[in-house]
Amino acid sequence: MVRAHQEQSQRLRDPDWHAGQDYAPPSVDSFRADRERVDDAHVLEVLYSLTQPEDVVVDVGAGAGRFAIPLARRVRQVVAVEPSEAMRTVLARDVQRAGLTNLQVVPHRWDEVLSVSADVGGDVVFAAHVVYPLADIEPFVRHLDAAARRWAAVLVFEAPPLSWLFPFWPAVHGETRLPPPHLPQLIDVVSELGFSSFTVDRIDVEPFDLGPADLARTKLRRRLYVAPGSAADERLGRAMANCSMIAGGFWSRVPKSQSASGLFAGSPCLSAERHDVCCAT
């Protein structure tokens, strides 16, 4: 599923489409803390309910700190594992602004962490929106589990990420979009790995605005692999003109097509209190 999704992205992207080497500033912004998003607050409520003030929490793929920073205000220590330099730069700045001294950054991928330091672990370990591109998810999940003393968690979308964009694919690329893995596949993986008991916690996703039509077009180009001025861009323009989400020159709120979900799995070989969590926003 991962490979088919990635192959389609590669094959249909405009030759001039360029995403850059790392996360671009607008994408980094959407992973920052304290943006008063209702769905972030819902995820945090779940995380707060499962953590204690003395906990060490490991946030794998912490991004710009959307969850790591609020958690650091609540627990003894947060370890933010984050391989992207662009994300780490914003994270470090926001940590400093927040006056936090208990958030440690580990600048590596989760699969590299073991070779760098065997000590990265905590009472609680979670990864939010990190696993979609992993073709081999098993070692990642096993490592999360092994690094967690009390529970581990994975947060994913219940519906395929960016599925609100799927109606544009036939119009722009002439093909139905192949979905990346999301909650149902994660549940299969966790079950196959032998985590026999788990619960799923669904967290509502906040609908969002794409903004004025020109900004919306920029955002859609990026996500549809369309370069400005290309034939695909022309098709995108036509598709946008026919799209019911546009209202008065502004894109109205993108409907709630993805409710978030969480899967909490208690590993039978660990203590009964231990939980493994897979959630989605």
Ligand X SMILES: C[S@@+](CC[C@H](N)C(=O)[O-])C[C@H]1O[C@@H](n2cnc3c(N)ncnc32)[C@H](O)[C@@H]1O
What is the binding site for ligand X (CB under 6 A)? 31, 60-63, 66, 81-84, 87, 109-111, 128-130
In the numeric block, which tokens belong to residue 71?
Answer: 């958690």
Smallest distance from ligand X to CB 12, Å: 21
Give the span between the Cα atoms of 220 and 45, in whole angstroms: 31
Query: To the nearest whole angstrom, how small is the minimum distance from the Cβ of residue 113 to ligand X?
Result: 8
Torsion of CA 125, 53, 183, 11, to 10 degrees: -60
Closest distance to ligand X from the beta carbon of 41 (Å): 13
Residue whose CB is less far from ligand X, 43 or 240: 43
Question: Measured between alpha carbons, how far is 177 from 163 in angstroms, rounded to an integer?
Answer: 9
Cβ(211)–Cβ(205) below 8 Å = no
Q: How far is the CB of 211 from ligand X (least distance, A)?
A: 20
Nearest CB to ligand X, comparing residues 105 and 240: 105
Q: How many residues does the chain have?
A: 281
Compare residues 42 and 66 and give the one whose CB is closer to ligand X: 66
CB of 82 to ligand X, least distance (A): 6
**Beta carbon nearer to ligand X, 111 or 119:** 111
For residue 216, what are the contacts with CB-CB under 8 A and spacing of at least 6? 210, 240, 246, 251
106: enclosing H helix or E strand: strand 103-106
In the complex with ligand X, which residue's Cβ is closer, 154 or 240?
154
Q: Return the CA Rg of the chain.
A: 19
